Structure 1
Amino acid sequence: MPIHIERDVRLQSGRTVDEVRLSYAIYGELNAARDNLVIFPTYFTGRQSCNEPYFGQGRALDPNIHCILVPSLIGNSDSSSPSNTTGPDAGAAFPNFTIHDNVRLQRALVDKLFQVERVALVIGWSMGGCQAFEWAAQFPDFVARALPFCATAMCSTHNHVFLEGVKAALTADGDWAGGNYSAPPARGLRAFGRAYAGWAYSREFFNRRLYRPLGFETSEDLLQDWERDHLSWDANDLLCKVWTWQHADISVNGRYHGDLPTALNAIKARMIVMPATTDMYFAETQASREASLIPNAEFRPFFSHWGHCAATPSAPDPGFLPFLDDAIFDLMSE
């Protein structure tokens, strides 16, 4: 996979990192007018290929029509991460990267590869959507359109507390050893996945046994699947991304000085803000408040009992992808 390298990167924390590697994938080609670039960042446990169910031939985002750039989040094991870094910044010593830091690196990549005057669309699910908000706020004259789905511009206190829970579940494993483990802390990783699953879906998802169409006879079967999935991740990589998620806020920077309403009001992109109605991470009420402060935003919630995972690319609510495509078509036609 291609890698973009930035050297002597100064982070929001004030720390300077000698080298940062940003992994990315490109689907399609930039057109002659240089006006078809779409940026689609990865989400919390997403790799580049995980975004592929969101686009395709004949879809609203079509690699035959659009040039789709998928940059990987720092900490996702492909870009610079605790697990693939050597030297003094390896493992538990890996520096903290904010969403702002990630987007600044992505902007450097875009400028190097494409030299476009504007980006046609920035879009993303979950933490990918948080990055879409950041793009729109930090580069208001550069982003023509944005569509964050199941995401908000700032991590809420409730969301932060949820993440404290899964973090505590992982780090309670004695084998975690303060991040200096010699073998994966398997009990902690399983506990992380099990705790995560209860928040990823809604109460009605479980009460209505909507896990059965996904191939799980019982809720325990679903929980065990989430355990297995998280066993595939490096513990420090997960914790790195948890920190990034918890500190998401488009206003915490030298441009907006912590004033979230001002940051939202400064966005010039045409936007559709699309929460899932039962998402317990990025709540519909918060998304509605944020959208009301963005001058050119439409609030378009997706009704679902599937919670945050209504929009997961691997197994979404059956109605979600057509709903998303309609929104993209509408946004791109303006």
Structure 2
Amino acid sequence: MSAELTPYKVFEAGNVALQCGITLVGAKLAYATYGRLNAAKDNVIVYPTRYGGSHADNEFLLKPGMALDPEKYFIFVPNMLGNGISSSPSNTPIPLAGPDFPAITQYDNVLLQERLLREVFGIEQIRLAAGWSMGGQQAFHWAALFPDRVAAMACFCGQAITAGHTYVFLEGVRHALITDPAWMQGRYSEQPWRGMTAKGRVWAGWVLSQDWFRQELWRDMGYVSVEDYLKNVWDAMYYGLDANDMLSMIRTWQACDISANPLYNGDRKAALAAITARSIVMPCRTDFYFPPEDNAAEVAQMPNAELRVIDSVWGHYAGGGRNAPDTAFIDAALKELLA
């Protein structure tokens, strides 16, 4: 996680039956809340975490005066299963520890989040479900699985269904990890640091655009060369995280499909058409993971959705708070959805 961990709570969910057919014994969902729940319980925003991130990484959008204002809303930020804080390969006991941790879907994540809100807070209605990247995948799932309970949805630099090209990109990242001899089929005695470094270098070429590198925007960050930037930013990006956790989240990402559940039985058209929430889907023009064309195909099948492209050279990072104009673009759309 890129942000220092801030306080959070843990929902002890007991034994949870997962889509893969395995029971996650003693499941734990870590979460943070910001702001106060009003008496009507109608000021709730669900804002899930992204790949490799924690609730603290979402805080760049949670400020007074911004759309996700803790002084107005009760903002629920659940940590995705597999991220190292909620139940994950690194913190689950044998026999589900490490590489034996079961496959998690976004359906599993969102059903557990819904259960927490209902059982702990008595919350039924969601004013807005929103998220970046894998957080956006979960926002899509919220809107499709609970269409009568989610009033608005925003996805920035994410998708409802992982595209084939993105699946292949993730295979490259996954193999950067598992081909490190120290990985040892996930039963490593120390983290596979060479694999982690390789993973960072692979990711660096995908998360930002050719235009970003062409403009040498790494110079604005204080680096004197591309290699200087890679060495100081990306080589240690995933140090401190667990390789099996990283692989678990990749597996979840690759399997993302809002129709792959008992409600829609693989009917993607029906799942997208069921999203009646007022929705704004915001891909970045230069995002290699989630290009506008993929989102356009999804939005075309949604009855109350708009495609709003972020015109930025920051690629996937346009959705993650790295560039102020991009963040302002997203914030403006969220304000519209909450108006």
Q: TM-score, normalised by structure 1?
A: 0.97
**Residue equivalent to 1:19:** 26
Structure 2 counterpart of 1:69, one-letter code: F
Residue in structure 2 matching 1:320, options 300, 315, 326: 326
Q: Secondary structure at the match of 2:324?
A: coil
Matches of 1:4 and 1:235 in 2, distance apart?
A: 24
Matched, 1:245 2:260: no
Does 2:4 match 1:30?
Answer: no
Q: CA deviation at 1:222?
A: 2.5
Greater shift, 318-327 or 211-220, is seen at 211-220
Equivalent of 2:188 in 172, 181, 192? 181
What is the rounded CA distance, in whole Å, between the counterparts of 1:271 and 1:214 in structure 2?
A: 34
Question: Is 1:158 aligned to 2:145, yes or no?
Answer: no
2:308 equivalent to 1:297: no
Return the letter of the residue paired with 1:294: M
Map 1:1-334 → 2, pairs under 5 A: 1-224=8-231, 225-313=233-321, 316-333=322-339
Q: Distance in 2 between matches of 1:104 and 1:266?
A: 17
Matched position secondary structure for 1:87: coil
Contact 2:118/2:124, CA 8 A, preserved across alignment: no
Check the 8 A contact 2:318/2:327 in 1, yes or no.
no
Residue 103 of structure 1 deviates from its aligned partner by: 0.5
Aligned residue type for 2:56: S
**Following TM superposition, by how much is the alpha carbon of 1:57 offset from its aligned partner in structure 2, in angstroms?**
1.0
Q: Deviations over 1:192-213 (max 9, x none)?
A: 1110110001111111112222
The answer (yes or no) to whether the contact 1:272–1:300 under 8 Å persists in 2 is yes
The answer (yes or no) to whether the contact 2:157–2:282 under 8 Å persists in 1 is yes
The alignment partner of 1:228 has SS state of: coil
Following TM superposition, the consecutive aligned residue runs of length 4 or more in structure 1 with deviations greater than 4 angstroms are: none
Give, in whole Å, the separation in 2 of the partners of 1:168 and 1:17.
26
TM-score, scaled to structure 2 = 0.96
Structure 1 Cα separation of the partners of residues 24 and 123 of structure 2: 27
1:126-174 deviation line (CA, Å, top 9, x unaligned): 0000000011001101111110100010000000000000111111110
Aligned partner of 2:279: which letter? Answer: M
Task: For residue 118 of structure 1, report the CA deviation from its aligned partner.
Answer: 1.1
Matched AA of 1:327 = A
2:99 touches 2:187 (CA, 8 Å); kept in 1? yes
Q: How far did residue 32 of structure 1 move? A: 1.8
Residues 304, 317 of structure 1: 8 Å contact kept: no
How many angstroms apart in 2 are the aligned matches of 1:219 and 1:180?
Answer: 34
SS in 1 for 2:238: helix
Q: Shift in Å at residue 317 of structure 1?
A: 2.4
Residue identity in the other structure for 1:331: L
Residue 225 of structure 2 aligns with an amino acid whose one-letter code is T
SS at match of 1:231: coil
- Cα distance between partner residues in 2 of 1:194 and 1:243: 20
Mind listing any 5+ residue stretches in structure 2 that lack a counterpart?
A: 1-7
The size of the alignment, in residue pairs, is 331
Kindly indicate whether the alpha-carbon contact (under 8 Å) linking 1:186 and 1:231 is maintained by their aligned counterparts in 2: yes
User: C-alpha displacement at 1:324, in angstroms?
Assistant: 1.2
